[in-house]
Amino acid sequence: MIPARRPAALLTVLALALAGCGAQVAPDGKKAAGGSGHYPVTIENCGVRTTYDKAPQRVVTNDVGITELMFALGLEKHMAGYVMPDDKGDLDAVPYKDAYDKVPRLSKKAVTKEMALDAKADLVFAGWNYGFGEDNDLTPASLKKLGIGSYVLTESCRKGPDGSARGVMPPLKALYTDLRTLGKIFDVRDRAEALVKGYEKQVAQVRAKIPAPGDRPSVFLYDDGRDKPLTSGFYAGPHDIITKAGGDHVMKDLKDSWTTVGWETVVARDPEVIVINDYGDTGAERKKEFLLSYPPLANVSAIKHRRIYVMDYAELVESPRNPAAISALAHYLRGVRHG
């Protein structure tokens, strides 16, 4: 998938923003002077090229999927801390519990410039609407002014003239891209490649068992919202999770990541299964109660047959948990067709 072109001035600003401590921008692709080992290295992130002459040592991450990308690569020692609200999961019962125990939790709210400064961060790893945003004045450009570098979650890369839509490649490709790119930045390429190959094998094993296109149950992802549901378009994690698990994603034509639609669209597409994203102040049970009692949905197949499947937030955003989530959803969808 070819990213939308950015204005030259914007590319220049973002390129400067992404060059923090230990990083230099290489607009011509040439390596920076100095460094040791496999450095300097030049990477591309959301269309911006940056050269690192050493690995960042005090990374601050925002949100669960982003934090666990670092953990999956064994980079706890390179982290100054992470930021994560309580509604993103029980950290005592997750695959990376030991890593969470080792790295300081800086806040249960939102990452801020002040927090990054207090942590003496040399890199902030977040995403657009996953921490970065003009509304809170936390952007690669604002961090650059403080001497702090940035890495943007690939799932959240912005596109278009106003940057309102997000996504430049399929979700699993975004996951693999980030793992490989971080592997270069932190000189753990072998670890990154092993993870990607393992995930690809796991997904391939699931895909080998899915039904033919005409026999795949249609699936709608419900994140939250009553007036208008927040859901997943083509570029958010649920799209690949649903399709690789053997489902037909009813919102695959939306060329965005996380976005809203009208309930009339959901009714018209009549999904056979609804997947609930379990997070936020409104838990999965309350979301399920709302869906089952909302009159406009009464004749939707998933509601009539009570085919509602709950998945954790950390499984649905870009994260190392995506491949296992595909396996779990595939098992459920096989039951829909054969149960």
Tell me, yes or no, whether 250 lies in a domain: yes
Asked whether residue 2 is assigned to any structural domain, the reply reads: no
What CATH number has the domain bearing residue 33? 3.40.50.1980
> Does residue 61 contact residue 125 with C-beta atoms inside 8 Å?
yes
Domain identity same for 282 and 328? yes
Eight-state DSSP code of residue 218: E
End of a domain among 199, 219, 237?
Answer: 199
Q: Say whether both 166 and 79 belong to one domain.
A: yes
* 57 and 99, same domain (yes or no): yes
Distance CA 181, CA 42 (A): 9
Buried b (16+ CB within 10 A) or exposed e, 241-270: bbbbbbbbbbbeebebbbbebebeebeeeb
Tens-digit pLDDT profile for the chain (339 aa)?
A: 333 333 333 333 333 333 334 444 343 333 333 345 689 999 999 999 999 999 999 999 999 999 999 999 999 999 999 999 888 767 777 899 999 999 999 999 999 999 999 999 999 999 999 999 999 999 999 999 999 999 999 999 998 777 788 999 999 999 999 999 999 999 999 999 999 999 999 999 999 999 998 899 999 999 999 999 999 999 999 999 999 999 999 999 999 999 999 999 999 999 999 999 999 889 999 999 999 999 999 999 999 999 999 999 999 999 999 999 999 999 999 999 766
Question: At which of 199, 225, 241 does a domain end?
Answer: 199
Q: Residue 213 burial (CB < 10 Å; 0-12/13-18/19+)?
A: exposed
Q: Do residues 48 and 180 share a domain?
A: yes
Q: What is the pLDDT of residue 87?
A: 82
Domain that holds residue 56: 8-199
- For residue 235, tell me if it sits in a domain: yes
Domain assignment present for residue 245? The answer is yes
Number of domains in the chain: 2
Indicate whether 77 and 226 sit together in one domain.
Answer: no
Residues 175 and 217 in one domain: no
278 and 224: one domain? yes
Q: From 134, 164, 199, give the residue that closes a domain.
A: 199
Residues 191 and 47 in one domain: yes
Question: Rounded to 5 degrees, what are φ and ψ at 15?
Answer: -65, -45
What pLDDT does 37 receive?
A: 64
Establish if 281 belongs to a structural domain. yes
C-alpha to C-alpha distances, 309 to 148, 219, 247, 338, nearest whole angstrom: 41, 10, 13, 16
In a domain, 3, yes or no: no
160 & 224 share domain: no
Alpha carbon distance 246, 217 (integer Å): 8
The answer to whether residue 204 sits within a structural domain is: no
227 and 174, same domain (yes or no): no
What's the distance, Cα to Cα, between the start and end of the chain in Å?
Answer: 37
Whole-model pTM? 0.87
Asked if 271 and 325 sit in the same domain, the reply is yes
How many Å apart are CA 231 and CA 102, to the nearest integer? 34
One domain for residues 151 and 222 = no
- Structural domain includes residue 1: no
